[in-house]
Amino acid sequence: MTAYNRMELMIAVAARLLEDNSIVAIGTGVPCAAAMLAQKTHAPNLMMMFEAGGFAPILPTMPVSVGDSRTFYKALMATSMRDVMASVARGMVDYCFLGGAQIDPYGNLNSTIIGDDFAHPKVRLPGSGGANDLASHAWHSMVITIQDKRRFVEKIDFITSPGYLDGPGARERAGLPPGTGPHKVITDLAIMGYDPKTCRMRIESVHPGVTVEQVKANTGFVLTEADEVLQTQPPTARELHVLRDEVDPLRYVIGR
């Protein structure tokens, strides 16, 4: 088996979750690498949407920003941020990738502040950007992150991007579209989904060499388990070849 690092594993896992003919809203970095890998392997008709307006490009190489000219290369449309966000609100986006400094059991994300005083926080973070719009209206939101107790907390300091808020029915009561919400959390240890009854995060698959106990030990809240916890399949030789030689040959992402 070809050796791989944890970043390559997370990207390969995320790519497999993107189906052919679906639409995914992505930023740069890891989500972009995952979408490019999916498009170059099992999902040639995957349509990528970038916040600055590029819709369904065929990326020649890894872009460095959402406004990079490469995000418009062979695209179906060169539109605007307004049109992109309107498309999200219309329910046209199947998947989006989000990030944050903190995530709680219901998939709520914080990328605004660390601390309990908004005016004088311990750390002020970049904020929402388009993340709140995506978390609110895309059908399925996914997170790729390193797993540790500082990130995975029982209560986040600020809700920047809504997950299932405080449990079943909360998104609908807040006026968000029924059927939307968090889908998967991909970490360096495991793949988590959400219990359909409680809307709380649960372990669905552990990566090679990782135990369920290790995943729970690196989480700051109680994690349940799916009825059957699977073992994640490692990246294939083909996935690694495409990722290293075509998607990210300069190691912008996989070299981290």
* Active-site amino acid positions: 51
Q: Where are the alpha helices (DSSP H) in 113-174?
A: 131-137, 170-173
- Spatial CA neighbour of 188 closest among 208, 202, 204: 208
Return the structure tokens found at 160: 């920047």
Q: DSSP letter at 9?
A: H
* Beta-carbon contacts of residue 161 (< 8 Å; ≥ 6 apart): 98, 100, 108, 109, 111, 128, 131, 132, 134, 135, 136, 141
Contact 37, 239 (CB under 8 A): yes
- What angle separates helix 30-40 from helix 6-16, to the nearest 10 degrees? 60
CA dist list (Å): 6 to 1, 146, 189, 192, 243 = 15, 9, 9, 16, 13
Return the structure tokens found at 223: 């994690």
For the chain, how many helices (H) and strands (E)?
Answer: 7, 14
